[in-house]
Amino acid sequence: MLQIQVAHSYFLRYDPKQWERGKPYPPLATIQVAALLRRLGHNVTLFDAMLAQGVDAYEVSLPPDEPRVVVLYEDNFNFLTKMCLSRMREAACRMIAIARAGGARIVVAGSDASDHPEAFLDAGADVVLIGEGVAAIVHLMERLNRNPDVDTQHWVAGLPGIAVRDGMQPRISRIGVSLPDAQLDGRAAWDLVDVEPYRAMWQERHGYFSLNMTASRGCPFHCNWCAKPIWGNHYRRRDADEVAEEMGHLKHAFHPDHIWFADDIFGFHANWVSAFAEHLRSNDGMVPFTIQTRADLATEPMASALERAGCVEAWLGAESGSQRVLDRMEKGTRVDRLVDARKRLGRHGIRVGFFIQLGYLGEELSDLLATRELIALAAPDDIGVSVSYPLPGTRFYEQVKAQLGGKTHWRDSGDLAMMFRGTYDSAFYRRVRDLLHEQVALQQSGAPSSPEQRRRSLDSLALQWNTLVASERLHRNHDATPVPIESTASPNDPGPSRRVTATQNH
């Protein structure tokens, strides 16, 4: 039986934008791994960086003679870990150094570690897991339990999907992306989480308390800008009754007012969501919840099932109001379906948010204005705006990597800097972002005090757009990245929603 500390390195305080937003969630993937290690018979503790003061708090968390092993397992459900923010990598490397100085063996896993294992090996990690790494963790802990003094080379011998030091050089054994491992299904180790600081921040900032869950892992769609270093295009969904049981547990143990489902694609099929709704009703487990999905999955049966299950908000990856841009992204959806999905979900009492992406390769002013028109026509309740972010392992990254300079990652999520030569500079996209947010705020503000006040607000917004458009040539990159001449997915392609059957937990 080993003494294992499971930890992650996403410190909310190191991300000013997210700290100001004030919506922290416990590290789901981290506590799923903690639950697995306990089922294997080990003693497990948790260091939760999310609301900690900083890395110094980690040093205090390590008792002088234990743990024997530190598993730094990043939360794969936190989309910010995919972005490999440099501030969080620095924190992880400092934590590794602290744990190593304390005599612990160190295993690291996460998107950044999978892409750049050498950075974490240089910091002192013994083993870096490539991908989800569940099978490797199980074998590593079994071997160490049998022989606590085993040297690293014998400890990892014959294991695929890992990176270690071999002399002065990293030795990386990549096996490609794999199916989400069934060993992580089941209830996470919620008892290891100190929930009260989360509750306090939520109540102080927003007046309610939200927790997070997942019903699935992975996404079978093929958007060419989306990094999938952990599961690739595999998708594994838990049984509806199991997910309903966990929601019921959270409801009665922690009394959240709201649940955020962190799945890339929630439910996928309407019949699964209908079964989920029935199980929630039978176990008194229903809590209002928010999901992420796609416009082409938001059919009438799906919207109806979501309403019955208690869904109050759905975020759609709209990305752009330009069909040309969506096709280049290989998104597999059409602009008119975004509008239809927003209206359909709204009729069922479900708020709708749009994720918007600015600055994709080849995007022109007309495409940006088409996105403005989409938001005006669809009138989403909220939007989240970012710029195209090239991540290793994507076709988009391969198209622009030659232009990436010294800055290959944002320092924090508020950076919003272009890291390749897009059509415009970063300042232009930041201004477009601000105007889109202002447009949504005006659309959702309800009845103004007078028609004259609304007219003045609309005129002011139009003037700001006109001013920006008039200055666009000043912000153009004259050596913008050319668009490769290559085929794109047909907008009529049925996509994974028609061609892929989700892996069930049977």
409-429 pLDDT, tens per residue? 666 666 667 777 889 999 999
Look at the pTM and tell me if it is higher than 0.85.
Answer: yes
88-92, 178-182, 213-217, 282-286: lowest mean pLDDT where? 178-182
170 versus 495: the higher-pLDDT residue is 170
Instruction: Give the whole-number percent of the chain exceeding pLDDT 70.
Output: 89
Q: What are phi and psi of 43, to 5 degrees?
A: -85, 125
**Residue 17 neighbours by CB under 8 Å, 6+ apart:** 412, 413, 414
Confidence at residue 298, expressed as pLDDT on a 0 to 100 scale: 97
Q: Are 2 and 141 in contact (CB under 8 A)?
A: yes
Matching CATH number, 3-173, of 1.10.10.10, 3.40.1410.10, 3.40.50.720, 3.40.50.280: 3.40.50.280
Confidence at residue 44, expressed as pLDDT on a 0 to 100 scale: 95
206 versus 183: the higher-pLDDT residue is 206
* Residue 252: CA count within 13 A, CB half-sphere: 9
Confidence at residue 416, expressed as pLDDT on a 0 to 100 scale: 62
pLDDT at 154 over 70: yes
Instruction: Give the whole-number percent of the chain exceeding pLDDT 90.
Output: 68
Confidence of residue 484 (pLDDT cuts 50, 70, 90): confident
358-404 pLDDT, tens per residue? 999 999 999 999 999 999 999 999 999 998 877 777 788 788 877 77
Look up the CATH number of domain 182-499: 3.80.30.20
Confidence at residue 430, expressed as pLDDT on a 0 to 100 scale: 93
The CA–CA distances, whole Å, from 418 to 84, 177, 388, 421, 480 equal: 15, 28, 7, 7, 11
Average model confidence (pLDDT) across the chain: 88
The amino acid that residue 2 corresponds to is L
Mean pLDDT in residue range 181-188: 80
pLDDT at 448 over 70: no
Q: What is 88-136 written as a DSSP string?
A: HHHHHHHHHHHHHHTT-EEEEESHHHHH-HHHHHHHT-SEEESSS-HHH
Q: Are 305 and 349 in contact (CB under 8 A)?
A: no
70-74, 150-154, 232-236, 494-498: lowest mean pLDDT where? 494-498
Confidence of residue 501 (pLDDT cuts 50, 70, 90): very low
Confidence at residue 505, expressed as pLDDT on a 0 to 100 scale: 42
**Residue 201 neighbours by CB under 8 Å, 6+ apart:** 22, 24, 51
Q: What is the largest CA-CA distance in the chain?
A: 78
Confidence of residue 111 (pLDDT cuts 50, 70, 90): confident
1-5, 75-79, 328-332: lowest mean pLDDT where? 75-79
Rounded CA separation 172/338 (Å) = 42
Confidence of residue 255 (pLDDT cuts 50, 70, 90): very high
Q: Which two tokens stand for residue 194?
A: 């100190």
Rounded CA separation 129/441 (Å) = 43
Q: Where in the chain is the domain with CATH 3.80.30.20?
A: 182-499
pLDDT at 486 over 70: no
CA 453 to centroid of chain Cα atoms: 39
User: Which DSSP symbol is given to 188?
Assistant: -
Confidence at residue 410, expressed as pLDDT on a 0 to 100 scale: 63
223-237, 246-260, 372-386, 443-457: lowest mean pLDDT where? 223-237
Mean pLDDT in residue range 128-156: 93
Mean pLDDT in residue range 216-238: 80
